[in-house]
């Protein structure tokens, strides 16, 4: 059984993490802006948000066909359940978050564009729906941040209190020859 994530999984993981970091920063920066600058950063946020969504869908599709590696044997049943729960919640929120943003945008009265390219516009201006989906987008964002904090907290917990470094599991590795010993995580 494989004990590390594949290089493709690693690429998906860290590109999503980098995109999310940018989207949260941009999202909270743009909502306080005024005038033309606001429009520019909103369009940028929507374009990167839709790109992140394409990446998430691709990742989910790929993940359903590629099961994760086995967990370290030191994980007790609570750690196994908690880790599965946090990963599933992350995927669920990554799936819902861009939809709420897209719906908010569709009821804002503006066309949603992807880096200048007009997307099919079916929505209309409706302040109540716009505000509802903006709220949903914001709440999903907070829940996602809590889940990501739990995720990072768990990695730190294993390192500090159990001396298990999980990071090499989700970092690039070279193919090893069958007679070589592989270090999957350092104890
Ligand atoms: C910021 C956004 C992040 C998201 C959305 C995210 C999401 C995920 C998901 C969904 C998995 C499970 C992959 C799968 O089984 O399909 C995972 C694994 C992992 N992530 Fe993250 N992650 C993020 C950031 C980080 C950071 C900053 C760290 C480093 C502290 C980290 C460390 C890990 C490790 C070590 C694993 C492998 C867990 C294992 O041993 O099974 N992640 N991440
Ligand atoms: C995973 C992807 C995304 C993340 C992490 C994200 C994050 C955020 C954050 C943190 C905010 C600020 C929330 C606030 O203070 O009200 C925001 C606002 C917004 N986002 Fe996203 N976003 C994502 C995807 C999208 C997408 C795909 C769209 C539309 C195509 C979008 C449209 C918007 C809009 C219109 C607002 C402003 C809402 C308002 O004016 O209150 N977002 N986003």
* Percent of the chain topping pLDDT 70: 93
Question: Which of 100-104, 115-119, 148-152, 172-176 is predicted least confidently?
Answer: 172-176
**pLDDT tens-digit series, residues 129-164:** 999 999 999 999 999 999 999 999 999 999 999 999
State how far the Cα of 151 lies from the Cα of 84, in Å rounded to an integer.
11
Burial 151-179 (b: 16+ CB within 10 A, else e): eeeebeebeeeeebebebbbeeeeeeeee
Q: Is 140 exposed, middle or buried (0-12, 13-18, 19+ CB in 10 A)?
A: buried
How confident is the model over 12-37, as a mean pLDDT? 97
Q: Is the predicted pLDDT of residue 16 greater than 80, yes or no?
A: yes
Q: Which of 50-54, 70-74, 159-163, 177-181 has the highest mean pLDDT?
A: 50-54
Instruction: Give me the pLDDT at residue 24, please.
Output: 98
Query: Structural domain boundaries of the chain?
Result: 7-183
Instruction: Give me the pLDDT at residue 2, please.
Output: 80
From 101, 105, 120, 132, the mutation candidate for ligand 2 (largest count of ligand atoms within 8 A of CB) is 101
Instruction: Give me the pLDDT at residue 3, please.
Output: 83
How confident is the model over 101-123, as a mean pLDDT? 97
CA 132–ligand 2 middle distance (angstroms): 13
CATH topology of domain 7-183: Fumarate Reductase Cytochrome B subunit (1.20.950)
**pLDDT tens-digit series, residues 86-104:** 999 999 999 999 999 999 9
Q: Would the CB of 50 count as within 6 Å of ligand 2?
A: yes
Q: Is the predicted pLDDT of residue 63 greater than 70, yes or no?
A: yes
| Pairing, β 113-114 against β 117-118 | antiparallel
How confident is the model over 24-39, as a mean pLDDT? 97
Q: Whose CA is nearest to atom 30 of ligand 1?
A: 152
How confident is the model over 161-186, as a mean pLDDT? 74
Instruction: Give me the pLDDT at residue 177, please.
Output: 52
Q: Is the predicted pLDDT of residue 10 greater than 90, yes or no?
A: yes
Q: Whose CA is nearest to atom 43 of ligand 1?
A: 13
Instruction: Give me the pLDDT at residue 184, please.
Output: 47
Q: Is the predicted pLDDT of residue 181 greater than 80, yes or no?
A: no
């Amino acid at each position: 059984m494989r004990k590390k994530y594949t290089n493709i999984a690693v690429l998906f993981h860290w590109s999503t993490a980098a995109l999310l970091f940018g989207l949260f920063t941009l999202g909270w920066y743009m909502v306080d802006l005024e005038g033309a600058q606001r429009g520019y950063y909103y369009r940028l946020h929507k374009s990167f948000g839709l790109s992140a969504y394409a990446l998430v869908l691709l990742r989910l599709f790929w993940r359903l066909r590629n099961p994760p590696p086995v967990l370290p044997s030191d994980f007790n049943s609570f750690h196994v359940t908690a880790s599965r729960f946090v990963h599933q919640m992350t995927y669920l929120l990554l799936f819902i978050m861009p939809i709420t943003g897209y719906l908010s945008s569709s009821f804002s009265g503006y066309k949603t564009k992807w880096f200048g390219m007009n997307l099919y516009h079916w929505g209309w201006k409706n302040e109540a729906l716009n505000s509802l989906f903006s709220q949903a987008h914001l709440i999903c964002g907070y829940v996602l941040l809590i889940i990501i904090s739990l995720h990072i907290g768990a990695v730190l917990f294993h390192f500090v209190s159990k001396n298990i470094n999980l990071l090499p599991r989700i970092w690039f590795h070279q193919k090893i020859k069958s007679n070589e010993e592989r270090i999957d995580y350092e104890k």
